[in-house]
Amino acid sequence: MSAYGTSQLCNPSKGYLTRNHRYWEKRGVPGPRPWPFFGTYLQQFFKPFPETEMEWYNDYGKIYGIYDGSKPGIIVGDPDLIKQIMVKDFHVFTNRRPVKTTHTIM
């Protein structure tokens, strides 16, 4: 098979893996640039998660978009907005990602 044929076979999978990677950009929400298959979590293989989160918070602000593979997610770092989401508007935000922690408050 030629190199052209091989590249054509790979393109559909790349398109599938990146199909939602403009989700937040289209909505005007800042965030780190995602990678195919990994989304924005590739950075966490090289840096601790809290360090990555603080860097993104400083770079993109209190609200920014991330990607778990090709699945978009949003990070909220504003305490007042978090309270509103978790208390008043809890029923609206039904697709929350589970938080895995050993912290006693969580």
* More confident position, 48 or 93: 48
pLDDT of residue 8: 46
User: pTM for the complete prediction?
Assistant: 0.69
- 23-75 pLDDT, tens per residue? 888 999 999 988 888 888 888 788 888 889 899 999 999 999 998 888 898 89
pLDDT at 12: 59
DSSP state letters, 34-82: PBTTTBTGGGGGTS-HHHHHHHHHHHH-SEEEEEETTEEEEEE--HHHH
